[in-house]
Structures are given as structure tokens and as C-alpha cells.
Amino acid sequence: SPIRGPIQAADPDPIRIAVLKFGTVNWELDTILHNGLDKANGFTLEVKPLAGSAAAKIAFEGGEADILVSDWIWVARRRATGADLVFLPYSKSVGGVMVAGNSPAQTLADLKHSKIAIAGGPLDKSWLILQAYALKNGMDLKTSTEQVFGAPPLLHQKALTGEFGGIVNFWHYLARLEAKGFRTLVSVNDAARDLGLDPDIPLLGYVMKGDFVREHADRVRGFAAASRAAKKILEEDDTAWERLRPIMKAEDDAAFEKLKAGFRAGIPDGQAVDPDAAARFFNLMAQLGGEQLVGTATTLPDGVFVDVGGW
């Protein structure tokens, strides 16, 4: 036919990321997509929504996704067994132990003999740090309290009905609790600082395979830049949050504000991770979590934190 449309510019190469459908990462990813930050940085973002964190790991291990959100302790564990995974910081948000607004507890010691709910299981990093902190202050948290492990949303709901003396959960659940009048008894950041650790090390991040980073360095760099740019928008622009509101599923304004504040507080400062600080952190984790947590890694393996330049 004689008339042809303009030749469509081919989409740039994709980056596939597996995330929880309503996870907090989506806020950043949605901002990237909405603002075209992916195309602007030379890649096409493909978000694969999944129903559980396990699903994301399967997708990643099975080669269905290039990026996964997890913590760097796990990356270190996997690296120690020979898996070539690297970590790109995403958030330093951590929780703490929260109690109901009307709870008489003022310090960890007041939780003695009460039930503490821990969403992440016995190897939850917040829980491990809190244990170390308590121990340093003369209390064996593990033996002097009763721990209840369970699915995060279930524990969240049960906390609301006052079933626990305290709860350790992921930060966005805790933000919602805070909106309901709960208060932080001890924050993990304070505990870490008390233990001489650097609380600014982002625990959560984007995990990628080493091969992928090496072979598609441009794309990864673009992704890092897009992430950075999205965070900047979210840090400064309240209207961007209004747009995200439907996918945040905040039950009310208070929760919305707490979630917004929590996310902002968790934005990393952009500095490269200090390897010594990380090593110290890892050693403590190895000590507390044991082989079950860190596997065969006794010290932090090299190369966990990816250097994408310009981060």
C-alpha cells in the first residue's frame, strides 16, 4: 500500500521484575512506569505481579524474572554457596517492636512473659537485632517471652484485636498499626545503633544475577537511575502519592500518611554501602541466626553490593 505510518521506534530492551501485587515496591515501580522513567533510561520495565514472596523467588530462580526484591543477607548466603547474585539497595525501612497505645509496656523488659508476634519467622532480621539488643541490656528475649510466628496479615489482624503483648512485622503493616494508635517500643534502627551497627545500610534491595548485570550493564544502570528518579519524585511530590493511593490500599487518611512517611524514611541516602559496616552487620546476623540463616557463609562474601556507578 502506498501510505505507511511512521516507523515505530522499537521498545528498548526489557527488565522483568517479580513483585508482590500490592507490595510497597509497586509504588516505586508504578511511578517509574507512569513517568516513563524506564524508556527515558533505556529499558522497558515489565512488572510480573505475584501472590507471594515465594512465588517471586521461584520466578527469579526459574529465569522468569531478572529482578527480585529481597534482603542482602540472603544474597550473601546464596553467594556463599556459589550462586552469583548481587544486590542493589532499594529501602532501609525496617520496623521495630510495636505495642498497643494503651499498653503499659515502656521498655522491652516489660514484655517479659507476654506473647510477641513475629511475622518474618524465627529468622526475621528485625527480631534478631532486637534479641541482640535485649541481650546486651541483660534480657533474653527468646526465653523470657512467648513467640508466635505466622502469616504477616494474620498477625497484623490479631494484633489489632489485642492478642499480643508486642508485634514485629514488616514496616508497612507497622505503619498501619501506628495509624491505629500503636506505638513503637523499640525501633530496629535504635537497637542497631545501640549495637554499634550502621542503621543506614539498606536491608532491602533489588537482587539480580551477576551475569545479567555484566551483560546488560547499561540497562541495570538505567534501572538504578530510574529507581533513583522515582524515589526523588516520591520524596518531594505529594501529588504523586495521591495518584498511588488506590494501589496503596490504605484504609484511611492516617494510614495513608504513615505509609507515605514510612516510605520516605526508608529511602537510602545514595551513598555506596560501607563494606566494613556491612561486614559487621553480617557477622552479627551470622552469630544470631546461625547456619539456618546464613548457610555456609561465616563472613560476608565479596561482591554482594553491586557497583553500578553513579548510584
Partner 1 sequence: MSKPNNQGGASGFSRISPAALLFPFLFIGVWYVAAGLAGNETTFPSPVTVGKIILAEARSGALFIHVGATLARVAAAFVIAMAVGCAIGLWMGRNRGINRWGDPWLVFFLNMPALVTIVLCYIWIGLTEAAAITAVAINKIPMVAVMMREGARTLDPGLNDMARVFRMTPAARLAHVVIPQLAPHFASAGRAGIALIWKIVLVVELLGASTGVGFQIHTYFQLFDVGAVLAYALSFIIVMLVVEYLILQPWERHASRWRNAG
Stretch that binds partner 1, among 33-41, 52-60, 128-136, 225-233 (CB under 8 A): 52-60
Distance CA 96, CA 158 (A): 17
**Grid-cell match 541483660, residue found:** 138
Number of Cβ within a 10 Å radius of residue 209: 18
Q: What is the DSSP string of 175-211?
A: HHHHHTT-EEEEEHHHHHHHTT--TTS--EEEEEEHH
Q: Tell me: does residue 147 bind partner 1 (CB under 8 A).
A: yes
Stretch that binds partner 1, among 16-24, 218-226, 236-244, 275-283 (CB under 8 A): 16-24
Among 11, 13, 61, 218, binds partner 1 (CB under 8 A): 61
Number of Cβ within a 10 Å radius of residue 234: 19
Q: Tell me: does residue 16 bind partner 1 (CB under 8 A).
A: no
Binding mask 157-186 for partner 1 (x = CB under 8 A): xx----x-----------------------
CB of 9 to partner 1, least distance (A): 28
Label the pairing between strands 146-149 and 115-118.
parallel
CB of 6 to partner 1, least distance (A): 33
Q: How many helices (DSSP H) and strands (DSSP E) are in the chain?
A: 14, 10
Strand, coil or helix: what is 15? Answer: strand
Q: Tell me: does residue 78 bind partner 1 (CB under 8 A).
A: yes
Distance CA 42, CA 284 (A): 39
Among 177, 293, 304, 306, binds partner 1 (CB under 8 A): 293
The answer to whether 204 and 93 are in contact (CB under 8 A) is yes
Q: What is the DSSP string of 98-125?
A: EE-TT----SGGGGTTSEEEETT-TT-H
CB of 152 to partner 1, least distance (A): 8
The DSSP output letter for 161 is: T
Name the residue nearer to partner 1 (CB basis): 59 or 244.
Answer: 59
CB of 122 to partner 1, least distance (A): 7
The cell numbers describing 172, all together, are 508497612
Binding mask 122-141 for partner 1 (x = CB under 8 A): xx------------------
Name the residue nearer to partner 1 (CB basis): 61 or 237.
Answer: 61
Q: Tell me: does residue 62 bind partner 1 (CB under 8 A).
A: yes
CB of 292 to partner 1, least distance (A): 8
Name the residue nearer to partner 1 (CB basis): 36 or 52.
Answer: 52
Does the CA dihedral 227-300-57-142 come out positive or negative? negative
Among 14, 36, 101, 153, binds partner 1 (CB under 8 A): 153
Among 11, 21, 211, 299, binds partner 1 (CB under 8 A): 21
Q: Tell me: does residue 270 bind partner 1 (CB under 8 A).
A: no
The DSSP output letter for 87 is: E
Distance CA 275, CA 281 (A): 10
- Residues near partner 1, by CB under 8 A: 20-22, 48-55, 57-59, 61-64, 74, 77-78, 81, 83, 121-123, 147-158, 163, 249, 292-293, 295
